[in-house]
Structure 1
């Protein structure tokens, strides 16, 4: 049976962020993930996790200037020094939160930069970051993101991500397999799940097209969840969806699909 982690950036928005840890625990979650921890002191986040007996499953490295549209720096030429600092900051938080996986966002392909150049920068940055993360007991993950939600994002397909992972080493970098993004970009969810399971380190879910909870869209969730088990997936599954209504009221999908 999948182990589900609540995504506190998207779920439980009925209460302030720091209160979402308790809300997630009360709703039966044992793990949490979120986009970014950096506006809060690591010690305060650690206190919230420990107080509720929660595991911090995942968060993202600093993405650059998020407010002005940046979505990561790993593939951006000329930003290597800033990227290196972001890795150090993320690893400091990972140590404080005892978080074993951190998502390294690739970024939007800049105008005038070729895919070849961006790929070279991305591979070099990831390899460097992985070397910093491994002694800290942290595995990096990379996530292909669909072209509708994030036009111009460097990394779009599972095959593209797997190729990079194989070049660097699956012991250092893993694939973040988001069912929502896979369905929008490529389809064939469970076939791709089967193909890339050897490098999948984390999974996330949301229904298509509105990115709401499972059962609100087109995806056949009973089969998807069953295949996760049949393929032997042991990691966490992040609930990175926007509740269609009140968060707790929308959690009926867990009983509906027997998970």
Structure 2
């Protein structure tokens, strides 16, 4: 099984640049991150420090978010955020450059919350424009833009796979084919989606899978979701990418659920 550790939600007891080495020490060769900088266009020195930490740890970056705003404060992306479209567009080139430097090819573009005083239709039109720009910006490196339904954010309009796929259909109609569904089984399940049906219909075209258990968004086995069965069926239905570990757990016990292979 190819797992990739989300170092923005796991190993957070450590400074960010120490987490790739900690993931490697824990037995993983692949990591992913939310946007690891405070701004859309960080300094060259900050980008270099990030890519160097990955290289020094000997891990492959498999996923990176576009700038999503202030996540701890409740922001969930800039894609549909009227007034921050220039900031999002500026971020695209930086994301592509990091992808080129690291070999990362999956980039999560969080859609953004509904805004007071802005028509949803206007936000949705902007979102398609921004997603198309992002898709074209990373196309030259063979990149894929990932679009994710999210739970726990009432103002975030993409709750189900169907919600995200409807937006992806619009980007396809606009002329790009590298925007794909990020199937986070935790978010889909919490939002009441039929995960089994989503897998049957769409696993062959998933851009990425992430997992956490429910209740609690904890490690696999801490809750009631049939994550192993869902992963197995996704493989059978044509998904061949890594499985992102995006759950909450203390570093010392975060990976105790894994069955370790003998040396």
Query: TM exceeds 0.5?
Result: yes
- TM-score w.r.t. length of structure 1: 0.89
Distance 1:5 1:248, change over 3 A: farther
Measure, in 2, the Cα distance between the counterparts of 1:26 and 1:167: 42
8 Å CA contact retained: 2:160, 2:193: no
Shift of the alpha carbon at 1:67? 5.6
Matched, 1:80 2:85: yes
For residue 258 of structure 2, what is the aligned residue in structure 1?
Answer: 254
Partner of 1:51: 56
Q: Structure 2: how far apart are the matches of 1:98 and 1:117? A: 35
Which SS does the other structure have where 1:119 is aligned? helix
DSSP 3-state at the match of 1:41: helix
Shift of 1:65: 4.2
2: CA distance, partners of 1:209 / 1:140:
29
User: Structure 1 stretches of 5 or more lacking a match?
Assistant: none
**1:141-185 per-position Cα deviation (integer Å, ceiling 9, x unaligned):** 111102xx1120132211121122233237311111101001001
Q: TM-score, normalised by structure 2?
A: 0.87
Which consecutive residues of structure 2, in runs of 5 or more, have no partner in the other structure?
A: 39-44
**Aligned residue pairs: how many?**
251
RMSD of equivalent CA atoms: 2.0
Q: In structure 2, do the counterparts of structure 1 residues 251 and 64 end up closer, same or farther at CA, with 3 Å as the change threshold?
A: closer
Residue 20 (structure 2) pairs with residue 21 (structure 1)? yes
Q: For residue 155 of structure 2, what is the aligned residue in structure 1?
A: 152
Shift >4 Å, 4+ stretches? 65-68
How many angstroms does 1:126 deviate by?
Answer: 0.9
Deviations 1:74-102 (A, max 9, x none): 11223322221122232232223321111
The separation in 2 between residues aligned to 1:202 and 1:18, in whole angstroms, is 24
| Cα deviation, residue 66, structure 1 | 4.2
Larger mean Cα displacement after TM superposition, 25-34 or 92-101: 92-101
CA distance in 1, matches of 2:205, 2:238: 13
Q: CA deviation at 1:135?
A: 1.5
